[in-house]
């Protein structure tokens, strides 16, 4: 046992030292943007999409197919959690007693939490954020409801329905781009029709549309994971 501990500690220390020696030459903090692809993204994002946030342009426009794969990974994880927990038919894991504080806070805070989550992913082309934080905030609202009201559970059918609808809508937006512009996930809103003024909500091409779709999908999927993980058969 003590030998195992010593070997594990030695291995961790060895990894630390070798990583320190090997990675130190990267030049942390230096401006090395001159020969990187990030320079292109920063210089051309306004011209290409009218979005102010460069990261959202990279995620949705320049690397849109990667985002489709990422959404697929989250979908597969949600499905696998559902399959693994499918043998438990009971309803609740939390047998904590809810207090009036829970219920009152749930009633007042729940709509505000959902509005904030929607704000995060709808304004993605202007402010920091992302579809994943927005969806996580929405799922935390669902978690608050599950903790506050003992007999509340998000409906399984609704979760599956909105999951598949929003997933298909994302592919549909990509296919519309294919039909109009000639390649998958083409930014038809700005490139073809020229809709949007810089710095307002209606800008950034199809970034707000795509972010709203996958934000909703992500919130629903995380709520589904919460729902599946809270299953129990000890009742």
The footprint of other proteins (CB under 8 A) covers: 4-5, 7-9, 11-13, 15-16, 19-20, 23, 26, 28-31, 33, 36-38, 41-42, 45-46, 52-55, 57-59, 63, 66-67, 70, 73-74, 76-78, 80-81, 84-85, 126-128, 130, 132, 198-199, 218, 222, 225, 228-229
CB of 39 to other proteins, least distance (A): 9
**CB 158, min distance to other proteins, A:** 20
Nearer to other proteins, 143 or 180 (CB): 143
Instruction: CB nearer to other proteins: give 81 or 103.
Output: 81
The DSSP 8-state label assigned to residue 98 in this structure reads: P
Minimum CB separation from other proteins for residue 222, in Å?
Answer: 8
Q: Residue 192 in contact with residue 180, Cβ under 8 Å? A: yes
Nearer to other proteins among residue 52 and residue 169 (C-beta): 52
CA distances to 12, 68, 132 from 135, rounded to whole Å, are: 35, 16, 5
By beta-carbon proximity to other proteins, the closer residue of 24 and 108 is 24
Residue 20 DSSP label: H
Please, which residue, 102 or 232, has the CB nearer to other proteins? 232
CB-wise, 25 or 151, nearer to other proteins?
25
CB of 68 to other proteins, least distance (A): 11
Contact between 13 and 166 under an 8 Å Cβ cutoff? The reply is: no
Q: How far is the CB of 179 from other proteins (least distance, A)?
A: 27
Compute the distance between CA of residue 97 and CA of residue 167 in angstroms, rounded to an integer. Answer: 37
Of 228, 193, 225, 221, the residue nearest 209 (C-alpha):
193
Give one DSSP letter per residue of 131-194, joined into a string. HHHHHHHHHHHHHHHHHHSTT----HHHHHHHHHHHHHHHHHHHHHHHHHHSSTT--HHHHTT-
Residue 227, CA distances (Å) to 63, 110, 114 in order: 32, 17, 17
For residue 162, the minimal CB distance to other proteins (Å) is 18
- What is the three-class DSSP state of 59? helix
């Amino acid at each position: 046992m003590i030998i195992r501990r010593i070997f594990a500690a030695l291995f961790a220390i060895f990894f630390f030292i070798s990583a320190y020696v090997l990675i130190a030459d990267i030049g942390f903090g230096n401006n090395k943007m001159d020969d990187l692809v990030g320079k292109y993204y920063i210089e051309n994002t306004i011209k290409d999409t009218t979005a102010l946030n460069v990261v959202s342009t990279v995620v949705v426009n320049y690397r849109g197919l990667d985002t489709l794969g990422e959404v697929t990974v989250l979908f597969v994880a949600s499905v696998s959690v559902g399959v693994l927990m499918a043998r438990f038919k009971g309803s609740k894991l939390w047998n904590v007693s809810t207090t009036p504080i829970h219920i009152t806070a749930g009633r007042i805070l729940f709509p505000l939490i959902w509005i904030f989550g929607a704000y995060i992913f709808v304004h993605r082309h202007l402010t920091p954020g992302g579809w994943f934080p927005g969806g996580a905030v929405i799922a935390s609202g669902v978690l608050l409801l599950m903790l506050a009201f003992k007999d509340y559970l998000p409906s399984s059918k609704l979760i599956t329905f909105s999951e598949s609808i929003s997933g298909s809508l994302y592919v549909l937006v990509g296919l519309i781009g294919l039909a109009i512009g000639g390649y998958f996930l083409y930014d038809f809103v700005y490139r073809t029709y020229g809709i949007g003024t810089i710095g307002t909500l209606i800008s950034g091409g199809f970034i707000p549309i795509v972010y709203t779709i996958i934000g909703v999908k992500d919130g629903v999927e995380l709520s589904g994971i919460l729902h599946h993980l809270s299953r129990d058969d000890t009742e």
